[in-house]
């Protein structure tokens, strides 16, 4: 499945913003958009307590919903 440029452009305009993203697996991530590439985005998550951070790569083909 090839992702259209419209989702990339939309997510590039959201760099630095916090989004909630649900994948086809039903897993939901909430974090700051750090990088938007051709087929995926990098979302930075704060772990419990707010001091530690981790990042996840989310392929566009697996994204079901995006909530701002």
Convert the pLDDT of each residue in 17-64 to its tens digit: 999 999 999 999 999 999 999 899 999 998 877 788 999 999 999 999
pLDDT at site 29: 92
**Binning pLDDT at 50, 70 and 90, where does residue 5 land?**
low
Q: How far apart are CA 12 and CA 7, in angstroms?
A: 8
pLDDT at site 1: 41
**Binning pLDDT at 50, 70 and 90, where does residue 8 land?**
confident
Decide: residue 33, CB within 10 A, 0-12 exposed, 13-18 middle, 19+ buried. Answer: buried
Question: Are 35 and 12 contacting, i.e. CB atoms less than 8 angstroms apart?
Answer: no
Q: How far apart are CA 19 and CA 64, in angstroms?
A: 13
List the one residue out of 26, 27, 33 whose CA is nearest residue 11.
33
């Amino acid at each position: 499945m090839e992702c259209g440029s419209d989702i990339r452009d939309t997510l590039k305009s959201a760099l630095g913003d916090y989004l909630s993203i649900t994948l086809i697996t039903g897993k939901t991530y909430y974090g700051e958009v750090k990088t938007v590439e051709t087929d995926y985005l990098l979302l930075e998550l704060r772990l419990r307590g707010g001091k530690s951070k981790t990042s996840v790569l989310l392929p566009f083909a697996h994204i079901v919903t995006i909530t701002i």
